[in-house]
């Protein structure tokens, strides 16, 4: 991997993790509320996939803070959204689970498990029709792979050869339910086999994720139809702030944390590019500063005005068109 990209990814992972810890902290203080789904442990996947899929459209789930940031949305706009402020990327109306920014082609933050997949497929249809030359990445968890929306999407994308990159973040759990208890096997890519080529990748390894997603992106851009990438990963925290996560044993967590994606990336940078401790300290500081700025920005930002409640139920221009 190019040094520039490796550095960028490392920075974003550091930023992402610190961002999540900051979010957690401010959830405890009550400044953030609702369901907060932290992405800690999954940074390699979230960051590297977004950097590899650097053009095209992206549809994600509710566990998307880091993806949004890696996509280029400013951390302060994300943090402000978590704080419910006007300056938030969704004006404080969406919250943690609903980060949207069409200027970054990020239609993230769907909180209906699997619900964004048909949307991603439809968007890919639009891209194919306009011969855009790029496609759509749909990111979803292992929990989404048992729902009707997922299968309909595989089938349609395949039947019509649409440029969709299905990226499954398999962290083995949907809240407290282990995937193998509700599906016949662990590897969800098997479900896609009748429809499209599949790839498996170690989701704790940013370099591997970057390469796999880049390759998959090339594939869909060439017009071959959809492709499926499954990345195995691990969330360190509970499902959301309201989940203690007791269904996973300490041993299991230990094994999983031993593969820490940030440590791994550090190692890579050390081995391939001889980066030194000072560099990592620097990056850490820079990332922390960005997070601190984001938090401060969020805290200082104004609450929405009361009138905001009624804004954007319908779009203004509509009435113009009609009358």
Partner 1 sequence: MLYREALNRAIDECMAVDEKVVILGEDVGRYGGSYRVSEGLVAKYGEARCIDTPIAELSIVGNAVGMAIGGLRPIAEIMTANFSLLAFDQIINHASKLHYMSNGKIRLPMVVRFPQGVSKQLAAQHSESYEQMLSAVPGLIVWAASDVNYAYHALKQAILMDDPVLFIEHELLYNKKGEVDVDTPLDPFKARIVKEGKDLTIVSYLKMVDDVMTAVPTIEKELGISCEVIDLQSLNPIDHATLEASIKKTGRLVVVEEDHYTGGYGAQIVSFAAEKLFYALDAAPLRLAGEDVPIPYNRSLELASIPTPEKIAARIVEWGKSNGL
Ligand X SMILES: Cc1ncc(C[n+]2csc(CCOP(=O)(O)OP(=O)(O)O)c2C)c(N)n1
CB of 50 vs Mg ion, minimal distance in Å: 18
**If binding is defined by CB under 8 A, does position 155 make contact with its own copies?**
yes
Helix (H, G, I), strand (E, B) or coil at 138: strand
Residue selected from 58, 77, 149, 216 as contacting its own copies according to rule CB under 8 A: 149
The alpha helices in the chain, defined as continuous H runs, are 3-28, 43-52, 65-70, 75-82, 117-129, 148-159, 179-182, 206-221, 250-257, 261-273, 277-300, 316-322
Separation of alpha carbons 56 and 214, rounded Å: 12
Helix (H, G, I), strand (E, B) or coil at 165: strand
Residues with Cβ within 8 Å of 305's Cβ and at least 6 positions away in sequence, in order, are: 86
Closest CA to 310 of 123, 52, 76, 91: 91
CB of 322 vs partner 1, minimal distance in Å: 5
| Interacting residues with its own copies between 88 and 147 (CB under 8 A) | 146-147
Residue 189 — φ and ψ, nearest 5°? -60, -30
Residue 289 interacts with which of ligand X, its own copies, Mg ion, none, CB < 5 to 8 Å by class: none
Binding mask 130-149 toward partner 1 (x if CB under 8 A, else -) reads x------------xx-xxxx
**Near its own copies by CB under 8 A, which window of 31-39, 93-101, 150-158, 211-219?**
150-158
Residue 63 interacts with which of its own copies, ligand X, partner 1, none, CB < 5 to 8 Å by class: ligand X
CB of 297 vs partner 1, minimal distance in Å: 16
Per DSSP bridges, beta strands 106-107 and 100-101 are: antiparallel
Residue number, 41 or 114, with CB nearest to its own copies: 114
Residue selected from 8, 21, 24, 122 as contacting partner 1 according to rule CB under 8 A: 122
Q: Which residues bind its own copies (CB under 8 A)?
A: 146-152, 155-156, 158-159, 181-185, 190-191, 193-195
């Amino acid at each position: 991997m190019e040094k520039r990209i490796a550095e960028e990814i490392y920075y974003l992972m550091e930023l992402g993790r610190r961002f999540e810890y900051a979010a957690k902290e401010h959830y405890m203080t009550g400044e953030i509320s609702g369901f907060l789904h932290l992405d800690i442990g999954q940074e390699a996947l979230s960051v590297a996939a977004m950097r590899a899929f650097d053009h095209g459209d992206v549809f994600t789930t509710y566990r998307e803070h880091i993806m949004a940031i890696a996509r280029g949305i400013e951390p302060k706009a994300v943090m402000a959204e978590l704080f419910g402020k006007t300056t938030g990327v969704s004006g404080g109306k969406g919250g943690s689970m609903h980060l949207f920014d069409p200027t970054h082609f990020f239609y993230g933050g769907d909180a209906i498990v699997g619900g964004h997949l048909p949307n991603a497929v439809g968007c890919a249809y639009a891209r194919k029709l306009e011969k855009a030359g790029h496609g759509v990445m749909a990111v979803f968890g292992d929990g989404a792979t048992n729902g009707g929306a997922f299968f309909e999407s595989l089938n349609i994308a395949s039947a019509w050869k649409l440029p969709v990159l299905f990226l499954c973040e398999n962290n083995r759990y949907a809240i407290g339910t282990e995937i193998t208890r509700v599906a016949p096997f662990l590897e969800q890519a098997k479900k896609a086999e009748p429809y499209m080529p599949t790839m498996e990748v170690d989701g704790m390894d940013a370099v591997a994720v970057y390469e796999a997603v880049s390759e998959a992106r090339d594939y869909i851009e060439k017009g071959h139809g959809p492709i499926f990438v499954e990345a195995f990963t691990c969330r360190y925290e509970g499902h959301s702030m309201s989940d203690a996560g007791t269904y996973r044993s300490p041993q299991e967590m230990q094994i999983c944390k031993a593969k820490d994606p940030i440590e791994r990336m550090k190692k890579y940078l050390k081995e391939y590019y001889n980066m030194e401790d000072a560099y990592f300290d620097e990056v850490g500081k820079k990332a922390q500063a960005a997070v601190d700025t984001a938090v401060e920005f969020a805290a200082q930002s104004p609450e929405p005005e009361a009138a905001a409640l009624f804004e954007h139920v319908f779009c203004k221009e509509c009435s113009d068109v009609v009358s």
